[in-house]
Amino acid sequence: DSGVTQTPKHLITATGQRVTLRCSPRSGDLSVYWYQQSLDQGLQFLIHYYNGEERAKGNILERFSAQQFPDLHSELNLSSLELGDSALYFCASSPSPSYEQYFGPGTRLTVT
């Protein structure tokens, strides 16, 4: 158990809908990262928040957004969902940006 929690574990929704994925980092970790894992693209970095502020963006679509709250939990919002958004979404946390990242168990999103 890495200490990173993610909810929900599974999510099934229809095209065009909007969903919110939640992540709680390890106690004391200030950095939260979001990643997408799909069969065709592999593991891709989406976005990084540090102590409530957006720090870096990776391959994140404009339809996706994230935020980190004062209690350091983070939410990833996915809107106007398409079939191709079906994937595993992981969050990871670390004490600071240059440290090792610990991953949560993931949220499996299925868009039908």
Partner 1 sequence: GEDVEQSLFLSVREGDSSVINCTYTDSSSTYLYWYKQEPGAGLQLLTYIFSNMDMKQDQRLTVLLNKKDKHLSLRIADTQTGDSAIYFCAEYSGGGADGLTFGKGTHLIIQP
Binding region for partner 1 (CB under 8 A): 2, 33, 35, 42-43, 45-46, 48, 55-56, 58, 90, 92, 97-98, 100-106
Hey, what are 84's tokens? Answer: 């191709």
Nearest approach, Cβ of residue 49 and partner 1 (Å): 10
Q: Select from 39, 38, 29, 41 the least CA-distant residue to 97.
A: 29
Nearest approach, Cβ of residue 37 and partner 1 (Å): 9
Which of 64/90 has CB closer to partner 1? Answer: 90
How long, in residues, is the chain? 112
- Name the CA dihedral angle for 42, 95, 24, 78, rounded to a multiple of 10 degrees: -40
Nearest approach, Cβ of residue 3 and partner 1 (Å): 11
Phi, psi values for residue 60, rounded to 5°: -95, 130
Which of 79/105 has CB closer to partner 1? Answer: 105
Which of 43/83 has CB closer to partner 1? Answer: 43
Which of 42/70 has CB closer to partner 1? Answer: 42
Q: With contact defined as beta carbons under 8 Å apart, do 74 and 5 qualify?
A: no
